Amino acid sequence: MDKALADLIRISNVTGKDSTLVQGGGGNTSVKTADGEYMYIKASGTALKDMSPRKGWRRMRLDAVLSVIEDKTLAKLNPHEREPEVVDRLLLACDDNVLGGARPSVESHLHAALERCVIHLHPLAVAAYVNAKNGRMQIEKIFRAEKFPPLWVPYTDPGFMLAKRIARLVESYQKQYGRKPAIMLLEKHGLFVTAGTADAALKLVRKVIKLCKSKLDEPKARKGKRIADSDIAATKSAIRKAVLDATGQSLPVTYFAPNKAVAAFMARKDSVKLLATPALNPDELVYANGPAMWLNKCDAETVAKKLKFLLDRGQKPSAAFIVKGLGLFVAADKKTTPVIGEIATGSLQIRMHAAKFGGILALNKRQQDFINNWEAEAFRKKLVSTKK
């Protein structure tokens, strides 16, 4: 097996096993071959932990991927025409014997401009900063001692524009510091680390997480009241009825008993306010239809009214619900439910942390509209819900 592929599988499996690093299954990895001709990269729709020497990746011609970012005609197209074209071109840049036509990661072009080993993750500890109004300032403080500081990437629509912006920012970083950045923090998105070897890249991930965690308080365990099974059953049926009434969809409702973070969130006085901010990142918007809906108490009529209110305003109906004193409920098909549960729980933690760093920084209306229309995200969502 090519050393680059072996490295790719290792960095993917090591990071992918830790759910705090890959919220909602987000993240991707790549390794370039020693001769600089190819790049092995995670395939879209595969989880990092499930990648193996046989599946879950593609090999791409590096020059073909780079030519996509450099193509000036693509930059002039509107996103509806451009993004499907970019996805096709990235697929054409694949050069391997992988069967089944799995697409390379939608962030492939972005990887091409970076060092040999690239690890991109959506870690909770990083989201606390990239989703906070003073996050950038906090990051500068934490990494003050670094000779080569992390590169902060202001929010950019995902896809081609993000790849182009990163290529530009990396170039100017290189001019200033004489090398490419090893750590990049993407506003309202996540983390990129890039290094010459797999070990160095993994070490960087551990370092960033440790530094970021150093300023975050872990929620304390608290004793909650015993939750009656009858309350859970009644709430599930009320949500189910409300969703059917508001959307016409009959969806199963799943209950998640509160972990430390959810219990801490429910005990706060500002829970309503913290959930009133829109989706934190594309994943929360795409999978969970935005933040969880807060409910002081749960009856079908009230929930239906709230869902209809969202629909009337052109928003997607919430898939997650936090019911005071009980915990998290998710209304979705069985395959997407665990992803939504993870994202909704993670979002509560991020919101609590961000509140301490100057307030929550969420996607604005225009940014949400772009995501909702984004072809590649729709494709990724379809893959998750059809994955066994």
Sites of contact with Zn ion (CB under 5 A): 190
- For the bound state, the minimum distance from the C-beta of residue 325 to Zn ion, rounded and expressed in Å, comes to 34
Residue closer to Zn ion, measured from CB, 190 or 219: 190
Residues in the chain: 388
- What is the spatial distance between Cα 21 and Cα 190, in angstroms, rounded to a whole number? 10
Strand intervals (E) in 87-229: 117-121, 151-153, 183-186, 190-195
- What is the spatial distance between Cα 213 and Cα 210, in angstroms, rounded to a whole number? 5
Residue closer to Zn ion, measured from CB, 271 or 347: 347
- For the bound state, the minimum distance from the C-beta of residue 185 to Zn ion, rounded and expressed in Å, comes to 12
Residue closer to Zn ion, measured from CB, 102 or 286: 286
Angle, helix 198-213 to helix 3-16, in steps of 10 degrees: 20
Question: Which sign does the torsion angle of CA 293, 298, 300, 301 carry?
Answer: negative
Residue closer to Zn ion, measured from CB, 182 or 262: 182
- For the bound state, the minimum distance from the C-beta of residue 120 to Zn ion, rounded and expressed in Å, comes to 6
- For the bound state, the minimum distance from the C-beta of residue 163 to Zn ion, rounded and expressed in Å, comes to 12
Backbone phi, then psi, for 336, in 5-degree steps?
-85, -20
Distances (CA, A) of 294 to 4, 326, 337, 355: 46, 11, 18, 17
Residue closer to Zn ion, measured from CB, 130 or 239: 130
282 and 158 Cβ atoms separated by less than 8 Å: yes
Residue closer to Zn ion, measured from CB, 173 or 192: 192
Distances (CA, A) of 372 to 103, 158, 254: 20, 11, 25
Residue closer to Zn ion, measured from CB, 188 or 240: 188
- At 178, list the tokens: 């004489």
Residue closer to Zn ion, measured from CB, 29 or 349: 29
- At 235, list the tokens: 């709430």
- For the bound state, the minimum distance from the C-beta of residue 282 to Zn ion, rounded and expressed in Å, comes to 8
Amino acid code (one letter) for 31: V
Angle, helix 375-386 to helix 79-92, in steps of 10 degrees: 60
- For the bound state, the minimum distance from the C-beta of residue 284 to Zn ion, rounded and expressed in Å, comes to 12
295 and 373 Cβ atoms separated by less than 8 Å: no
293-295/320-323 β-pairing: parallel
Ramachandran region of residue 277, left (φ > 0), alpha (ψ -120 to 50) or beta? Answer: beta
- For the bound state, the minimum distance from the C-beta of residue 291 to Zn ion, rounded and expressed in Å, comes to 19
- For the bound state, the minimum distance from the C-beta of residue 65 to Zn ion, rounded and expressed in Å, comes to 17
